[in-house]
A = this chain, B = another copy of it.
């Protein structure tokens, strides 16, 4: 016999509750901790690292602003500002897009590539130590699928 008002969903079970709380903490702690590791270690904030990394994974080491913004989970204006910071450090160059004169490509410079090469072990280590380490013995592929759903699915209202 369901509630005709259909308002309140099931309250959380204790396990659900602790999972939600723990996830909340991880969402707060993890990015800050990894960023702090990167900055302490290599003077490269996580946001900037992410931009360089996404650029480096492209065949020509260049990408349009909107695409890069999406991959970095950043607004377009946020991306503009990140690229500005990287440009003043000489790690990225901006080039007008050939096939569309409104567009810009962010291009990884050699200095940027070098910076990335020197930094990724630090990032990798942080991710392992602070996160993956605690999931040994888990079915990571299955977990990943669930998180992908949670990250992409529009909720079924």
* B134 and A150 contact, CB distance less than 8 A: yes
List, in ascending order, chain B residues with CB within 8 A of A141's CB: 15, 18-19
Q: Is the CB of A23 within 8 A of B134?
A: no
* B31 close to A124 (CB less than 8 A): no
Q: Does A151 contact B (CB under 8 A)?
A: yes
Min Cβ gap A35→B in Å is 12
In the bound complex, CA of A1 to CA of B28 (Å): 38
Report yes or no: B152 in contact with A146, Cβ–Cβ below 8 A.
Answer: no
Whether A156 touches B129, Cβ cut-off 8 Å, given contacts A134-B150, A141-B18, A150-B26, is yes
Is there an interface contact between A124 and B25, defined as CB atoms closer than 8 Å?
no
Output the nearest chain B residue to A20 by Cβ-Cβ distance: B127
Contact A12/B148 with A73-B25, A155-B130 known, Cβ cut-off 8 Å: no
Answer whether A147 and B11 are a contact pair too, CB < 8 Å, given A31-B27, A73-B24, A156-B129: no
Chain A residues packing against B (C-beta within 8 Å): 7-13, 15-16, 18-31, 33, 73, 121, 124-135, 138, 140-141, 143-153, 155-157
Q: Mind listing 22 A-B residue pairs with CB under 8 Å? A: A9-B124, A12-B124, A12-B127, A13-B140, A15-B141, A16-B140, A18-B140, A19-B132, A19-B143, A20-B127, A20-B132, A23-B131, A26-B27, A26-B151, A27-B27, A29-B73, A30-B150, A33-B155, A130-B150, A130-B155, A133-B156, A134-B153
